[in-house]
Amino acid sequence: MKKQLLLSLLAASVSAACQVHAETWPEPVGPSQSDFGGVGLMQTPTARMAKESEFSVNFRDNDQYRYYSASLQLFPWLETTVRYTDVRTRRYSAVEGFSGNQSYKDKAFDVKLRLWQESYWLPEVAVGSRDLGGTGLFDSEYLVASKAWGPFDFSLGIGWGYLGNSGTLKNPFCSYSDSYCSRSGGGETGTINGSQMFHGPAALFGGVEYQTPWQPLRLKLEYEGNDYQDDFAGRLEQRSKVNVGAIYRITDWADINASYERGNTFMFGFTLRTNFNDLHQSHIDSQKPAYNPQPQPQGDLLQPTVVANQLTDLKYNAGLNGPHIQTKGSTLYVSGEQTKYRDTREGVDRANRIIMNNLPAGIDTIDVTESRFNMPQVSTRTNVASLHNELTGYPLGHEQPLQQTREDPVDPGTTEQGFFIRKDRLNYSLSPVLNQSVGGPESFYMYQVGVMANADYWLTDHLLVGGSLFGNIANNYDKFNYNGAPADSTLPRVRTHIRDYVENNVYVNDLQANYMHALGNGFYGQVYGGYLETMYGGVGGEVLYRPIDSNWAFGVDANYVKQRDWDNMMQFTDYKAPTGNLTAYWRPWFMQDVLVKASVGQYLAKDKGVTLDVSKRFDSGVMVGFYATKTNVSAEQYGEGTFTKGFYISVPMDLFTVTPTRGRAQVNWVPLTRDGGQMLGRKYQLYDLTSDRDARFN
């Protein structure tokens, strides 16, 4: 019945496609996602890539497997996919008290790299790997080419591993070495088994995707190289190596699809997508001040009534909290903390307009200094005559660039006149919190919803005291029933007590004092002490060297901490450790939207090693990154996973708010929490606090 139903649906779709000729989409639909996630047909990949920065969430379901995946086109030539596979025919473990009746969950990471783009004669070619790190249930490597011909897009490739299980083709690498003729099965969770890549049997695969005249509908046909004889779900019957399917685009952000695979299996699913470069939000904001110059009279540099209005506008229109206006010689200085605009250039532009409208006579330079946490970041110096020409407009053909420079913060010292609005010393907020864990043995998804009350008070211009109190609202961590030390690890339990901490419904998350200061010449420093994070308290310090608008920076932090007692979080256990890192930050000149962060040092478990963190910033301000830590702890001592790794997405809050804001929210995904390679979760990090020193990334 399933087969007849699917074939009937496909026949009806083709019939409709042949009769409907009007385009219903403003642009071509483009490549679609495969069953595993990542651009492809159904079970097999193609060489096609999604549009750069496209992010898709995919779900596919059949009798044996459910695939949950997220795919991101990081660069035009690099596709990345994270996937969880629900094996419906297997239990997570044989121990009912450990995992109940939960089905087995497998996590995987895929990459695909484009070797060259399609030309008139040559196809697009890509190489890729599925299940690159993990148990290797679906690990595969492939080389595939795609060539379009009218509405048809043909693909042909060779696959190894899961994609080539039928062994219909002799492995071409066998001629190089006999070791390539065999492939060991499986692997250890979290490992990357590069020694087995392109080993074992190989097979050809291929297919075609057809764009019907009815633009939302695309049809797929593929020939796969897998025979399913050694499948993890059990030996699956394959009546046909030919799979057929259809995908229908409901809207520009959603697809639904159905397919008939192996000659006996019905698969259905959907895809939701967005593009991180195109995300934007319209904001309700005060209008940018119009240029209506009313110069102050000669001999009276700053009139109090005029300056009072300027200070108010600087705070509420330009977003400069605690604004100062002062003059010295022929320069007018403006300073404050930008709390409104993520793009600080907007705040500087508004501040310049506010000052220009009531500019004192004799002023030829405006200097706007922005600060964060009372640490001056950058001064934007603008020539008044050039700014006047910019605001009034140049004659056609006589345009000139604005004479404006970004410099290290300028301290005007003793000034002739100065006025200011005092910055609030007390700040407080209440924010929602979602802690979550995906893919655990007790439950596939565990959550904790709560609220965090935050308060900070500036005792002096540089000494900040503050803390946060967490209150639990709801969670399902009662399923988190395993409470023993990892049996496969010899490390001290610096992070795996997490399940003990979440049993506390109300606790002080952090309570500390920070002394922060701009040291001059691109140096910044801070010292701190108290309850530094949920699990640790102690003392520490950090120094950062970050030249203005530079592609690189260096920092060092050193800390001495003790583990907080999960039974009474105002007390400590006996465990203590020195920890710290030397960190280098680099934005490659050939990829200015990428940040590479490398840290070397000692971690909480007293292991020593290196952490590499690579992130990319998209046009919307969304940042996506991944990190990995390798220490001097052996894989056997570390236990399952062999080394620490994870992914994160940092999202600017102004994509969700109706008014401009500089806040951010971060979502982390850690495949497996272990004790090796764990850093202290410091509340304030100087590189983040000095982001205004790089005009390109805020």
pLDDT at 274: 95
Over residues 604-630, the mean pLDDT reads 95
Strands of the sheet with 375-383, listed across from one edge: 404-407, 375-383, 365-372, 331-338, 320-328, 417-420
Span between the terminal Cα atoms of the chain, in Å:
56
- Residue 132 CA to residue 37 CA, distance in Å, equals 14
- Give residue 14's pLDDT: 45
pLDDT band at 641 (very low <50, low <70, confident <90, very high): confident
**Exposed e or buried b for every residue in 649-677, given b needs 16+ CB within 10 A?**
bbbbebbeeeebbbeeeeeebbbbbbbbb
pTM for the whole thing?
0.89
pLDDT at 563 over 80: yes
Tell me the mean pLDDT in the region 277-286.
92
- pLDDT category at 18 given cuts 50, 70, 90 is very low
Q: What angle do CA 208, 211, 217 make, to 5 degrees?
A: 115
> In the numeric block, which tokens belong to residue 497?
């007590």
Flag whether pLDDT at 193 surpasses 80.
no
> What digits encode the pLDDT tens for the residues 411-451?
877 666 678 999 999 999 999 888 777 776 677 788 889 99
Instruction: Give the least confident one: 182-191, 351-360, 534-543.
Output: 182-191
Tokens representing 275?
């593009």
| % of the chain residues with pLDDT over 70 | 90
pLDDT at 7 over 50: no
Which pLDDT value is given to residue 38?
Answer: 96
Question: In the structure, what pLDDT confidence band is assigned to residue 339 with cuts at 50, 70 and 90?
Answer: very high
Q: What radius of gyration, in Å, describes the C-alpha atoms of the chain?
A: 30
What's residue 190's pLDDT? 53
Query: 352 CB contacts (<8 Å, ≥6 apart)?
Result: 366, 368, 382, 387
Query: What's residue 1's pLDDT?
Result: 42
Mean pLDDT of 21-33: 61
Whether the per-residue pLDDT at 698 is higher than 70: the answer is no
Q: Give the model's pLDDT for residue 59.
A: 97
CA angle 593, 599, 601 (to 5 degrees): 175
Q: Shortest CA distance to 187 belongs to which of 142, 234, 129, 102?
A: 129
The pLDDT mean for the chain works out to 88
The residue ranking higher by pLDDT, 17 or 83, is: 83
What letter does residue 686 receive in the DSSP assignment? H
Res. 9: pLDDT tops 70: no
pLDDT at 416: 61
For residue 610 the two structure tokens come to 């290196």
Place of tokens 């399933």: 2
Confidence of residue 232 (pLDDT cuts 50, 70, 90): confident
Q: Which of 84-98, 234-248, 653-667 has the lowest mean pLDDT?
A: 84-98
